[in-house]
Structure 1
């Protein structure tokens, strides 16, 4: 009987020691593996989120004004005052908007077109007081639309057309004539020829715009090899596109609505900015 009891205690001791060894070695390894897997998952998630943010940032660098669904938190006005165009930027509470990012070497890009989309201006007003910008008015009397391209910090901003007048023009009661689509995408400005070729001009698909400058030496202009501004026929939809990476004038954009659009391509050649207009149809 005593031998049986002794054997039982010895067996119980062996079981306890064995469980202790298993808990110390095998379970600890499992915990380490589990922790490593969780850490890996966290890193993967952080990496994917970072990659998404970088992609969004990269896209925004190449194109402005594409999203028309976001409500702007910045109100912009423009008016003719004496011999100047005066712009005021205010937030929704009426306070001046002053915290702007430098965007292609400027705080503010002002795109102005006339009502027929014949005249095109790319101006750079200077800040005179907080939230107020001014530029010399060299526009002829007429009716215009302005597009103020800025990057406010911590505020949502969407470029919208702003109608304004210079002088006292007689308003045309009739709708302006439709734009005529170019059959040949080739323009010559002061002996500088530029030819445009595109991928299929369809909505909701990336469209690549490739400009052949026929050997001209393009110079960096406002931090880029060129700038492309696109408006629809009614001057309601605005796109400001910068070239893709590289040393060739290749741009990529996307259209959400079919219709006729006018493209202004800006290139600096021999110290002067040349503007090449093209009219295309998006289907």
Structure 2
């Protein structure tokens, strides 16, 4: 009897011990699986944030790319020229060499108002004015013949390279011996903006004369019928008094002599307006003060 009871007690203890071990193991979740599930959840959240961040970055990149492309296609003037222009004057012959930054000829130029190159030449006093159109004589090379009196000049080569940014800058040169101690004469604003040239009267009517804002230059042509000149009803070239800032303005309207521009700084400016009347191109000079 005692032997049977002892066996029963031992058996009961084994069963209870085994059940306690089993319950302990079954109740505690596997550490590895729990860690993996937690890591996966965090990773999804991070992926969602990273994905959202990449979408914003991609969106910004696309916007930036479109803007950059638009600026490149429009040839926006960012103040840095990718083209070097050299001018060689020998007697009455003026030769222009156009090269890129690698000193290779620039051969791809866009036609701008029926010409590949517009060459503007003025003397030091802004009294003499020449609007020339050199002809191509080689790759990146243009030539024009023009007799110039002795004196100091500045030239402006106006071109539109197809794939390069270009900023028009003055090129100084001298015909004959350079006089010593010559001074640039001070310009005075015109009291009247009505000019008579070749028997034709033209009046300049500016919308305003204030720097930093859009200005409309309207020209009242009296008793004359304008004719198309280089694909437009006129051309306007503007220089500041020091002949450093160059503006070549074309009509805003194909039928009317109305021009739009902006003067970046206050000062004295000279305006040359070119109109073709009765088969002849006449140049009307105006001097204005921009406040």
TM-score, shorter chain, exceeding 0.5 = yes
* Superposed CA RMSD: 2.3
Correspondence for 1:226: 234
SS, match of residue 183 in structure 2: coil
Shift of 1:199: 1.2
1:126 and 1:134 in contact (8 A); partners too:
yes
How many residues align? The count is 227
Higher relative contact order, structure no. (Cα contacts within 8 Å, ≥ 6 residues apart): 1
Runs of 4+ displaced beyond 2 Å = none
For 2:177 and 2:269, the matched residues in 1 are separated by: 29
* Residues 111-152 of structure 1: per-residue CA shift (max 9 Å, x gap): 000000000000000110111111012111111000000000
Matched, 1:118 2:127: yes
Correspondence for 1:277: 285
> TM-score, length-normalised on structure 2?
0.73
Correspondence for 2:178: 169
What does residue range 145-184 of structure 1 map to in structure 2 within 5 Å?
A: 145-171=154-180, 173-184=181-192
1:232 and 1:238 in contact (8 A); partners too:
yes
For 2:191 and 2:213, the matched residues in 1 are separated by: 22
SS, match of residue 99 in structure 2: strand
Correspondence for 1:9: none
Correspondence for 2:110: 101
For 2:126 and 2:254, the matched residues in 1 are separated by: 31
2:232 and 2:254 in contact (8 A); partners too:
no
Shift of 1:165: 1.3
> TM-score, length-normalised on structure 1?
0.75
For 2:176 and 2:95, the matched residues in 1 are separated by: 14
For 2:152 and 2:232, the matched residues in 1 are separated by: 31
What does residue range 198-237 of structure 1 map to in structure 2 within 5 Å?
A: 198-237=206-245
Matched, 1:84 2:93: yes
Structure 2: segments with no counterpart, 5+ residues: 1-58
Correspondence for 1:127: 136
Larger mean CA deviation between 149-158 and 76-85 belongs to 76-85
Larger Rg belongs to: 2
1:75 and 1:91 in contact (8 A); partners too:
yes
Matched, 1:247 2:247: no
